[in-house]
Structure 1
Amino acid sequence: MIKSGATPNIRTLGLICSLALLIVSNAPVRAQTAEEQERSYRRESMEQALQTKERFDLYGLRFDSDSATIQPDSKSLLDDIATSLKNFPDWRLRIVGHTDATADPQHNLHLSVDRALAIKAALVDRGVDPQRLDASGLGESRPITSNATPEGRALNRRVELDRVTDSAEAKKMLKAMSDFLAAQKTLSVGFDTVFEVVTPTDQKLGLASSGTVSLSRPDKIRVARSGGFADFEILYDGKALTFLGKNANLYTQISAPGTVDQLIDTLQEKYNRPLPGADLLMTNSYDELMQDVYDSKDLGSGVVNGVECDTLTFRKNDVDWQIWIAQGERPYPCRFVITSKLDSGDPQYTIQFRDWKFGNDVAADDFAFKNASNAKQVDVKDVQDKLGDLPENFTIGGAK
C-alpha cells in the first residue's frame, strides 16, 4: 500500500505461475466460517481444488495447544492427503502452516514451521515419498481475514496445501541464460521499467523509467536511469562508487574496492539501492535467483520485441517472478517481472530489455566519473533519496 509522502522498500524477486478465468457473481456471498468449512470438507473437493486452482486451505487438522503434536482425530485428514498423493503420483505438495496473531510473531513463525514439518512426517509414515513434499510456515504473516474476532482467528489458523511443479526444463533454460551472461566479459543493454504501486483507494499506478547498463567484468559498471521523477547515474571503476543525482546536480563518492558482484550486494544491503535487474548481472545469477524457489514452470514460447522467447515462472514465499529468455545460441533475458506477495495490491516491477550488445560490439568506456556538470559533492545520505523508485511525495502505507 502506497500513500503520499516517502519511498518504498520492495526487494526485487518473482511473478504469477498460472492464468485463471474467474467468473464472479454480483450477489454478495457470505464467507464460510472455519467450522463450516471443516464440516463441508470432502476429499474429492480437495483433489479438485488442487487440480484446478493448485491450492486448498484445510481446516480440521488439530494440534495440541501451542505444540506441533498432531491430535489423533486428525488421522482421517492425513489419510486423505496421502490417498490423494497416491491417486495423483505426478503431484508434488507444499504444506504451509498458518497461525492467528495471538502470540509473539516470531513464536508463531516457528510454531507454523514445526506443524508443517509434523504433517510432512505423518505423510511420510503413510508411505509418501519425502521428495514429493515440502514443508514451510508463514506464522501470522498471511491472514485471510481480521484477527479481531474469534471467527477470524479460526479462519487464519489453517494448513495450506499447494500443488507445485519442479520443472527441470525451466531450471535448465534459466541456468543456460545465467551461464551465457556470466561468460560475457563486456556487455551493454537498454531497459524500460514500470513500477506498479497501489494507493489507499486501491488505484494501481504505474511509474515508468528508462536507462542503460554497461558492464565490464569483473569490476566495472555504469548505470544511467531517467524518468519523470528520477535522473541519476551510478558509476563503479573497481575502486570507487559514484552516485550522481542529475536533477539536483549532486554527487557522492564511496571507496568500495572489489567486484561488480560485491557492489550489487553492497548497493542492496547497505544502501537499499538495488540496480535494475541486478540479479541477472551477477556471475552466479542462477544461484541468486533460485534461492528458496519452491515452484518452477515452463510456459512455452512467447515473443518480446519481436524476439521469440522461452517463458518461465518461479515462486518464492515473498515474491513470484517470471522471465522471458531469447531462444537460440544467445539466451539473454528479454523481460523480467517481479510481483511482491507481502503487500496489499501485489506491487509489481517490470523491466524490459532492448539492444543487448556483447564483446567488441560494446562501446568503449573507462567507467570514470568526469563531473562534466560541475555537480556539488555531498554526503551519501544527501543523494540517496534522489535514486529511489518513487517520487518524493509517495510513502509506504500499512498493509490492508
Structure 2
Amino acid sequence: MLCSGSGRKIPHRASFGLAAATILLMLPCSQAWSDNAVEPDADTMLRAMTTSLAGLKSFSFDYDVDDEIVNNTGQKIQFSASGSATIARPGKLFITRKGPYADAEITFDGKAVSVYGKTLNVYAQIASPGPTIDEAVEEVRMATGLDAAGADLLSADPYAVLTSDVRAGSIVGEAYIAGIKCDHLAFRGEAVDWQIWIEQGERRLPMKYVITTKWVTGAPEYTVRFANWNVAPQIDANMFQFTPPDGAKKIDSIVADAIGDMSVEEVQ
C-alpha cells in the first residue's frame, strides 16, 4: 500500500497484477504474538482455516481485489481487479488478473515465474531459487519490491505467516459473503490490522480478507474476496508450462507500481 500523489501518469507499459493472485505477501516478522492477547476461540477458528488451506494439495478459486491508494489531498482512490488462481502444491501455480492496467497471466512451473501481458504481447521471467511456491513468491518480492498482499494465504504454513505480527485478535461475529455464512475475525498488528471472513462448515475456507495499513495517511485498505472454491479440480498439467505466444517480446525489467501491480516498461 503506497501513498500516491494526484495526477500520477501511467507510462506506456505492460502491467502485470500479482497482488492477490498474485494474488495476493505478508512476510513474517521477528516478533511473535502474545497468546493471551488473542481470544482462544478466534485462534481456534484461524487455525482451522489455515489447517484446511495447508492441507489442500490442489485447488482453484476466483477472486476480486480492491486496492486503495491515498493521494496528496487525502482522497482515497480504489483500484479493482478480478482473476482466478489454480494451485498444485508444492510448486505449481497459474493466476490470471484483469484490472485497470493489467490483463495478465502468471505461471510458475517449479523453476521460473513467467508473467505475460496479453494487451502488449510481452512477457518477463524470474528464476526461482527453489521449487516451492513460497520460494518463488519471496524471489519475486526481492526482485521487484512487490509484497503481494494475498500470497500469505497460499503459503505452505499460512498460520505462521498470518500471525507473525499479530498482537491481538477477536471474533467480531457472523456475516454473509456472497450468500455464504461466515465467521468474521479481526486481528491487530504493529504495522497493519487485518480481518478475515471464514466459511462456516467443514471446509473452513477464506471468503474475504482485508488488510488496513494503519500508519499510512488515510489508512488505505487492501481487500480480496474469494469465490468458486474447488478443492479437487481437474487440472491439465500443461496449464503450468508457459510457452511465449507467437510474436511475444521478452522484457527483462519488472517493477512494482503504485497500485500493487507488477509492471514492466515497454522497450521502445
TM-score of the superposed pair, with normalisation by structure 2: 0.81
Question: Do structure 1's residue 255 and structure 2's residue 127 form an aligned pair?
Answer: yes
Q: CA deviation at 1:245?
A: 2.1
Residue aligned with 1:265, SS: helix
Partner of residue 78, structure 2:
206
CA gap of 1:328–1:336, structure 2 versus 1, over 3 A, is same
Shift of 1:281: 0.9
Residue 384 (structure 1) aligned to one of 248, 255, 259: 255
Q: How does 1:356-395 map to 2 (within 5 A)?
A: 356-359=229-232, 361-366=233-238, 367-379=240-252, 381=253, 383-384=254-255, 389=260
Identity of aligned residues (%): 34
Q: Give the C-alpha shift of residue 388 in structure 1.
A: 5.5
CA–CA distance in structure 1, aligned partners of residues 45 and 216 of structure 2: 30
Q: Determine if contact 1:230/1:388 at 8 Å carries over to the other structure.
A: no
CA separation of 1:12 and 1:2: change in aligned 2, threshold 3 A? farther
Q: SS state of the match for residue 51, structure 2?
A: helix
Kept after mapping to 1: 8 A contact 2:85/2:93? yes
Letter in 2 for 1:371: P
1:324 to 197, 201, 225: 197
1:295 and 2:168 correspond? yes
Instruction: Structure 1: state its 5+ residue gaps.
Output: 14-129, 133-164, 393-400
Q: SS at the partner of 1:174?
A: helix
1:208: Cα distance to partner?
A: 0.5
**Preserved CA contact (<8 Å) 2:87 2:94:** yes
Residue 229 of structure 1: aligned partner: 101
Higher gyration radius (CA): 1
CA distance in structure 2 between the partners assigned to 1:306 and 1:364 by the alignment: 31
Deviation at 1:339, TM superposition (A): 0.6
Partner of 1:19: none
Contact 1:191-1:353 within 8 A present in 2 as well: yes
User: What runs of 5+ residues in structure 2 fail to find an aligned partner?
Assistant: 11-18, 27-33, 264-268
Pairing partner for 2:115 from 243, 247, 254: 243
Q: 1:1-400 residue pairs with structure 2 within 5 A?
A: 1-3=3-5, 4-5=7-8, 165-256=37-128, 257-275=130-148, 277-359=150-232, 361-366=233-238, 367-379=240-252, 381=253, 383-384=254-255, 389=260
Cα RMSD, aligned residues only: 2.6
Q: Which has the higher helix share?
A: 1
Shift of 1:224: 1.1
- Aligned residues of 1:187 and 1:362 also touching (Cα < 8 A): no
Q: Which residue identity is paired with 2:120?
A: A
Q: Confirm or deny: 8 A CA contact 1:230 1:386 kept in the other structure.
A: no
State the secondary structure of the residue aligned to 1:205: strand
Give the Cα–Cα distance (whole angstroms) in 2 for the partners of residues 307 and 271 of structure 1. Answer: 36
Report the structure, 1 or 2, having the larger strand content. 2
TM-score after normalising by structure 1: 0.55
Structure 2 counterpart of 1:389, which letter?
A: G
Cα distance in 1 for residues equivalent to 2:52 and 2:133: 17
